[in-house]
Amino acid sequence: MKKIVFLIGFSVSLLLVQSCNNKTEKKDETISTNDVPASVQSAFSAKYSTATEVKWEDAHEDTIQTFKAKFVINGKKMKAEFDRNGGLVKEEEDN
What is the full per-residue pLDDT of the chain (95 aa) written as tens digits?
Answer: 777 765 576 665 655 556 555 444 556 788 999 999 999 999 999 999 999 999 999 998 888 899 999 999 999 999 999 999 999 999 999 87
Query: How far apart are alpha carbons 71 and 16 in whole angstroms?
Result: 42
Check: pTM over 0.75? Answer yes or no.
Answer: no
Q: For residue 41, count other CB atoms closer than 10 A to its CB.
A: 18
Contact 75, 94 (CB under 8 A): no
Apex CA 73: angle with CA 55 and CA 59, to 5°?
Answer: 35
State CA 32 to chain mean position distance: 17
